[in-house]
Structure 1
Amino acid sequence: MKRVIKIVLWSVLSLLVLLGAAASLFIYKVKNGFPVSYETEAPQIDFPAGKRAILLFSKTTGFRHGASIDASKPVIKALAEKNGWFVYETEEGGAFNPAQLAKFSTVIFNNSTGEVINDEQKRALEQYVENGGSLLGIHGAGDDSHHWDWYEQNLLGAKFSHHPIDPQFQVADVQLDPQRNSLFSKLPSRWSHSDEWYVFFENPRQKGFNIIYTINGDAINPSGNILFVTSKNFGMGKDHPVAWYKQTGKGKTFYTSMGHNETAWQNQNFVKLLETALQWTNNQ
Structure 2
Amino acid sequence: MKKIFKVILFSLLSLFLIFGAAIAIFFYKISYGFPVSYETEKPAISFPQNQSAVLIFSKTTGFRHGESIEASLPVFTEMGKRNGWFIYQTEEGGVFNPEQLKQFKAVIFNNSTGRVLNDEQQQALSQYVEAGGALLGIHGAGDNSHNWNWYEQNLLGTRFSHHPINPQFQKSDVHVESSADTAFTQGLPQSWVHEDEWYIFNSQPKGAQIISYINGDNINPNGNILWTKNKNFGMGPYHPVAWNRSVGKGKAFYTSMGHSNEVWQDTNFVHLVENALQWSMK
TM-score normalised per structure 1: 0.95
- Equivalent positions of 1:1-284 (< 5 A) are 9-186=9-186, 187-204=188-205, 207-283=206-282
Residue 7 of structure 1 deviates from its aligned partner by 5.4
Identity of aligned residues (%): 62
Secondary structure of the 1:183 match is helix
Deviations 1:162-219 (A, max 9, x none): 1111111111111111134221232221111111111111111xx1201111011111
One-letter identity of the residue aligned with 2:117: I
Q: Shift in Å at residue 246 of structure 1? A: 1.0
Structure 1 counterpart SS, 2:257: coil
Q: CA deviation at 1:65?
A: 0.5
Render the CA deviation track for 1:124-149: whole Å, top value 9, x for unaligned: 11110111100000001000010111
- 1:105 Cα deviation from its structure 2 partner: 0.2
* 2:74 aligned partner, one-letter code: P
Is residue 135–residue 253 contact of structure 2 (8 Å, CA) maintained in 1? Answer: yes
SS at the partner of 2:194? strand
Aligned partner of residue 218 in structure 1, secondary structure:
helix
In the alignment, the residues of structure 1 paired with residue 264 and residue 189 of structure 2 have an alpha-carbon distance, to the nearest angstrom, of: 16
What code does the residue aligned with 1:17 have? L
- Secondary structure of 2:244's partner? strand
**Equivalent AA in structure 1 for residue 248 of structure 2:** G
Deviation at residue 282 of structure 1 after TM alignment: 1.5
- Between 12-21 and 133-142, the greater mean CA deviation after superposition: 12-21
C-alpha distance in structure 1 between counterparts of 2:5 and 2:200, whole Å: 45
- The alpha-carbon distance between structure 1 residues 64 and 53, as it changes in their structure 2 partners (threshold 3 A), is same
In 2: Cα distance, 1:225 partner to 1:87 partner: 39
The unaligned stretches of length 5 or more in structure 2 are none
Shift in Å, 1:8: 5.1
Distance in 2 between the 1:180 and 1:267 partners? 21
The answer (yes or no) to whether the contact 1:179–1:185 under 8 Å persists in 2 is: no
C-alpha separation in 2, matches of 1:58 and 1:175: 28
User: In the TM superposition, what is the alpha-carbon distance from 1:263 to its structure 2 partner?
Assistant: 0.5
Amino acid at match of 1:268: T
Find the aligned partners of 1:235 and 1:143 in 2 and give their Cα distance.
16
CA contact (8 A) 1:213 1:242 kept: yes
Q: One-letter code of the match for 1:132?
A: G
Describe the SS at the equivalent of 1:244: strand
Segment drifting more, 44-53 vs 226-235: 226-235
The separation in 1 between residues aligned to 2:6 and 2:42, in whole angstroms, is 60
Q: How many residues align?
A: 281
* Amino acid aligned to 1:163: H
Residue 72 of structure 1 aligns to which amino acid in structure 2? S
TM-score (norm 2): 0.96
Separation in 2 of the partners of 1:178 and 1:7?
Answer: 67
CA distance in structure 1 between the partners assigned to 2:216 and 2:204 by the alignment: 12
SS in 1 for 2:252: strand
Cα distance, 1:101 vs. partner?
Answer: 0.5
